[in-house]
Structure 1
Amino acid sequence: MNIKRNTILALCFLSIIFLFSACSDETEPAGNIDFGYEYFPLAVGKYRVYVSDSIVLRSAGTIRDTLKSYIREEIIEQNISAEGDTMYNVNVYFKRKVDDDWKYQKTVFVTKSVQKVTRQEDNLLFTKMVFPLKAGLRFNHNQYFDSQIDIVIGGEVMRAMYDGWNTRVETINKDLLFEGNKVKNVKIRLVDDVSTSLEKKVYYETYIQNIGLYSKTMIFLQDNNTGTEPIEERAVKGFYHNLTLLEHN
């Protein structure tokens, strides 16, 4: 049970991003720039509840565990750093079934500045968003750690899972139907889709204006040898993961 729970949490929070490198031949007056801060709102007392659905490959791909759970994140504290950035402590809670009691898992640390939002958890620092947001903006989400590090998922070692990512803002200010209303959203593709004889990578997140993270889709599969069958059929390690917002305030 603990192994499955830790696996779910590891999948839920492999999130990540930064390097503000947009260039332009023309300078736009600061007052006319839409930075997009409203796509990552933060305030003490705010919470979000997500449903997590995952398939984790175990025992060299011979076992596929289907895992469903619920994740709650609540901002409990706010501080100002020496640099003037706003830092938030976010408690993370977990339960397997809707009727279960929430169990505290850990505290993660989110920092928001005029240029970016970072999230620190499990000894890794990820950049979640950069400003001003605009379609096509690319940035290096892995700059704060070695992208060659290995990650253990389902008892299997995923080698260099973070390597070769090319994060970009794919779309912004598009309409999305949420709670019966049309809302604006931004889609961030953390890694360009990869599908080879040895691996498959898919990872994107969608954020809603004035709410924050709405959904996350991740597929990471690896095989040790090449073959003629699709990687989805012969992968020996990896996971599928979907996270969707259920409740917020």
Structure 2
Amino acid sequence: MRLQYVFILIILFSACKKENPSIPINYKYSYFPLKQGLQRIYKVVDITIDTAINKYDTINYELKEVLDSSFIDNSGNIAWRLERYKRTDSAQQWVISDVWENQIINNQAHSVEENIRYIKIIFPPKKDEIWNGNAFNTLEATNYSISNMDEYISINALIFDSILTVNQKYEETLIYKYQTFEQYATNVGLINKTVIAIDYAYTYPPNIPIEQRISRGHLYYQTIISHN
């Protein structure tokens, strides 16, 4: 009788499991959309400072990225041709500057930039997860990590209700600072890229931001202004 009771419990438990299948994983690939015709336009500010030679250069321009078409790469995977165009301002014609590649392989967002492959995002993204963004190139291993995700942000009057922040580098002392991060929005992709490479900064006054004490360095800000 006892065995019959146990057997009945097993059957009931199995039935319950069948009625409650596991919830499918949301990989959130939409942070790195691959869709023909997808277009993003950015405002770019590129600053180079070297006080020793009295160099203070600021270059402003617009950058357009277009996912043009897909193709099969040398490894047999689907890749997307990302065409990049530049112009000094909206009154000028777009001129193609280079072509990159985007693809998702084994739950990883890959970007091939100037023939260098980077792992931009690991799917599904998790806060504080760490990976080597240079795992598929010959550059020094660099730990990427996710600091924020699924957050609201407003940029240049554009509203994004779900963004992901990927920190690619951060080192800072009183006299130098190296910081790189990218932000991605669902169904849009990259919306912001910041690169701060301050090789040397004046130590005085120490209470103001290092970006205002630069002796030698490079600052790059790429911010979205429109998308389709």
Please point out which of 37, 47, 58 is paired with 1:45. Answer: 37
Q: What are the equivalent positions in structure 2 for 1:186-205 lying under 5 Å apart?
A: 186-192=164-170, 194-196=171-173, 199-205=176-182
Structure 2 counterpart SS, 1:38 = helix
Q: What are structure 1's unaligned runs of at least 5 residues?
A: 1-28, 149-162
Structure 1 counterpart SS, 2:161 = strand
Task: Indicate yes or no: 2:95 matched with 1:95.
Answer: no
Please point out which of 134, 140, 151 is paired with 1:174. Answer: 151
Identity among equivalent pairs (%): 23
Residue 145 of structure 1 corresponds to which residue in structure 2? 137
Q: How large is the RMSD of aligned CA atoms in angstroms? A: 2.5
Rounded to whole Å, the distance in 2 between the matches of 1:30 and 1:146 is: 40
- 1:239 is matched by which residue type in structure 2? H
Task: Indicate yes or no: 2:62 matched with 1:70.
Answer: yes
Task: Indicate yes or no: 2:210 matched with 1:245.
Answer: no
Q: What are the Cα deviations for residues 71-122 of structure 1, in whole angstroms up to 9, with x where unaligned?
A: 0111111023476632001111101122111011111111212411111122
The 1:245–1:228 alpha-carbon spacing in structure 2 relative to 1, beyond 3 Å, is: closer
The 1:31–1:61 alpha-carbon spacing in structure 2 relative to 1, beyond 3 Å, is: farther
**Is the Cα contact below 8 Å between 2:145 and 2:166 reproduced in 1?**
yes
Greater strand content: 2
- Larger RCO (CA under 8 A, 6+ residues apart): 1
**Is the Cα contact below 8 Å between 1:61 and 1:234 reproduced in 2?**
no
Question: Which segment is superposed worse, 58-67 or 167-176?
Answer: 58-67
CA radius of gyration, larger in: 2
**Is the Cα contact below 8 Å between 1:135 and 1:172 reproduced in 2?**
yes
Residue 159 of structure 1 corresponds to which residue in structure 2? none
TM-score between the two structures when normalised by the length of structure 2: 0.78
- 1:167 is matched by which residue type in structure 2? Y
The 1:94–1:55 alpha-carbon spacing in structure 2 relative to 1, beyond 3 Å, is: same
- 1:111 is matched by which residue type in structure 2? Q
Q: What are the equivalent positions in structure 2 for 1:198-237 lying under 5 Å apart?
A: 199-223=176-200, 228-229=203-204, 232=211, 233-236=213-216
Rounded to whole Å, the distance in 1 between the matches of 2:23 and 2:53 is: 54
The 1:180–1:56 alpha-carbon spacing in structure 2 relative to 1, beyond 3 Å, is: closer
Question: Which segment is superposed worse, 51-60 or 124-133?
Answer: 51-60
**Is the Cα contact below 8 Å between 2:77 and 2:105 reproduced in 1?**
yes
Tell me by how many angstroms 1:228 deviates.
Answer: 3.8
* Aligned residue pair count: 202
Tell me by how many angstroms 1:234 deviates.
Answer: 4.9
The 1:81–1:63 alpha-carbon spacing in structure 2 relative to 1, beyond 3 Å, is: closer
Question: Which segment is superposed worse, 53-62 or 127-136?
Answer: 53-62
Rounded to whole Å, the distance in 2 between the matches of 1:62 and 1:147 is: 32
Residue 7 of structure 1 corresponds to which residue in structure 2? none
Q: What are structure 2's unaligned runs of at least 5 residues?
A: 1-20
